[in-house]
C-alpha cells in the first residue's frame, strides 16, 4: 500500500544551521508529495508541494525535490531560525482516493 | 485558515460517556476529514466524507462514528469514550485547484480531548 517514512527526530539545531529532514515514500503510480508544518498549538499548514518527478517545491527558504528514482522528498533549509521550531510532516496524495497519507512527523527545535 | 472551525477546542470527559466534536466550514467544499494526532503516530485518518450523507472509514475508525447532514458540518462522535481516545482531533477540508493533479488539504485548529 501507500506509505510515508520520515526521520522521526526530535531534531535540535542552533540558529543558522543547515536542516535536512528525510522522507521516503512507497506508492503505486505517481503521487503528489507535500510537506506540512505544525507550529505549537496550531493545526497543520501546507509548507510546499511537488506534483511530478524532478519538481522542486519551495517556500519560506525550505526546499524539497521529488526524486522518483530514490522515492524521496527530503526537506532542506540552508539556515534555520528560531521561528522554524515546529513539527514537520511529509505526506503523499494519490489521485482517486482523495486522501493524504502522512509520515509520523519530525519535531524541530532551533535554539538561539 | 480556509474558514474551518472546530468545537469545542478543549474537552475533558469520563470513560463511557458519549462525546461529539463539530467541524464547520464556510466554503461548501465537498470533502471533509477527521484525523487524530498522537505522539509517535503522526496523523491518522478516522473517517472522511465526500458529500452530504456520504462517508467512509479511515484507518482508525473503530469506536467512532460520523455524520454529515449538511455540507458545512461534519460531526465526529465517540459513542462511549475510552482513555485510548485521548488525543488531539483535527478536521480538514480538501480544496481542488483547477487544473492541478492534487487537492490541498486545509486543517482546523484542533480539539484536545482528554478521557479520564
B103 to A104: CB separation less than 8 angstroms, yes or no? no
Beta-carbon contacts of B39 under 8 Å, excluding residues fewer than 6 positions away, are: none
**A32 within 8 A of B102, measured Cβ to Cβ:** yes
Q: What was the pLDDT predicted at B39?
A: 86
Residue A72: exposure state from Cβ atoms within 10 A (0-12, 13-18, ≥19): middle
A100-104, B19-23, B41-45 — most confident range: B19-23
Per-residue pLDDT averaged across A21-42, rounded?
92
Contacts of A105 in chain B (CB under 8 A): 42-43
Contacts of A46 in chain B (CB under 8 A): 104-106
Q: How far is A63 from B90, CA to CA, in rounded Å?
A: 26
**A64 within 8 A of A50, measured Cβ to Cβ:** yes
Per-residue pLDDT averaged across B52-72, rounded?
95
Per-residue pLDDT averaged across A16-43, rounded?
93
**B36 within 8 A of B48, measured Cβ to Cβ:** no
Q: How far is A101 from B61, CA to CA, in rounded Å?
A: 15
Residue A16 has pLDDT above 90, yes or no: yes
Residue A38 has pLDDT above 60, yes or no: yes
**B22 within 8 A of B73, measured Cβ to Cβ:** yes
B109 to A43: CB separation less than 8 angstroms, yes or no? yes
B90 to A32: CB separation less than 8 angstroms, yes or no? no
* Strand residues in chain B grouped as ranges (E): 4-7, 10-13, 19-25, 31-38, 42-51, 54-57, 64-70, 73-78, 87-96, 103-107, 111-115
Q: What was the pLDDT predicted at A8?
A: 83
A99 to B43: CB separation less than 8 angstroms, yes or no? no
Q: Which residues of A26-49 are buried (b: 16+ CB within 10 A; e: fewer)?
A: ebeeebbbbbbbbeeeebbebbbb
Contacts of A8 in chain B (CB under 8 A): 40
Confidence of residue B6 (pLDDT cuts 50, 70, 90): very high
Locate cell 477546542: which residue?
A: B9
Q: What was the pLDDT predicted at A41?
A: 86
| Type and span of the H or E element at A19 | strand A19-21
Distance of CA A78 to the CA centre of its chain: 15
The pLDDT tens digits of the residues spanning B71-89 come to 999 999 999 999 999 999 9
Averaged pLDDT of chain B: 92
Beta-carbon contacts of A55 under 8 Å, excluding residues fewer than 6 positions away, are: A65, A66
A32 to B101: CB separation less than 8 angstroms, yes or no? yes
Per-residue pLDDT averaged across A10-38, rounded?
94
Q: How far is A37 from A60, CA to CA, in rounded Å?
A: 12
Amino acid at each position: 500500500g501507500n506509505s510515508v517514512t520520515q526521520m522521526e527526530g526530535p531534531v535540535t539545531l542552533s540558529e543558522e544551521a543547515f536542516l535536512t529532514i528525510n522522507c521516503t515514500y512507497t506508492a503505486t503510480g505517481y503521487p503528489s508529495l507535500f510537506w506540512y508544518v505544525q507550529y505549537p498549538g496550531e493545526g497543520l499548514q501546507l509548507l510546499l508541494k511537488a506534483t511530478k518527478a524532478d519538481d522542486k517545491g519551495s517556500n519560506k527558504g525550505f526546499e524539497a525535490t521529488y526524486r522518483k528514482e530514490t522515492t524521496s522528498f527530503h526537506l532542506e533549509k540552508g539556515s534555520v531560525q528560531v521561528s522554524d521550531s515546529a513539527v514537520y510532516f511529509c505526506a503523499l496524495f494519490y489521485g482517486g482516493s482523495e486522501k493524504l497519507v502522512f509520515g509520523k512527523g519530525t519535531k524541530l527545535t532551533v535554539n538561539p | 485558515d480556509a474558514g474551518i472551525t472546530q468545537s469545542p477546542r478543549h474537552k475533558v470527559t469520563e470513560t463511557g460517556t458519549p462525546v461529539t466534536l463539530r467541524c464547520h466550514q464556510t466554503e461548501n467544499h465537498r470533502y471533509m476529514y477527521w484525523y487524530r494526532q498522537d505522539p509517535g503516530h503522526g496523523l491518522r485518518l478516522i473517517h472522511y466524507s465526500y458529500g452530504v450523507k456520504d462517508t467512509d472509514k479511515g484507518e482508525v475508525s473503530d469506536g467512532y462514528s460520523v455524520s454529515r447532514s449538511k455540507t458545512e458540518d461534519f460531526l465526529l462522535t465517540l459513542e462511549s469514550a475510552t482513555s485510548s481516545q485521548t488525543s488531539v482531533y483535527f478536521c480538514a477540508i480538501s480544496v481542488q485547484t483547477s487544473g492541478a493533479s492534487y487537492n490541498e488539504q486545509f486543517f482546523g485548529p484542533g480539539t484536545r480531548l482528554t478521557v479520564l
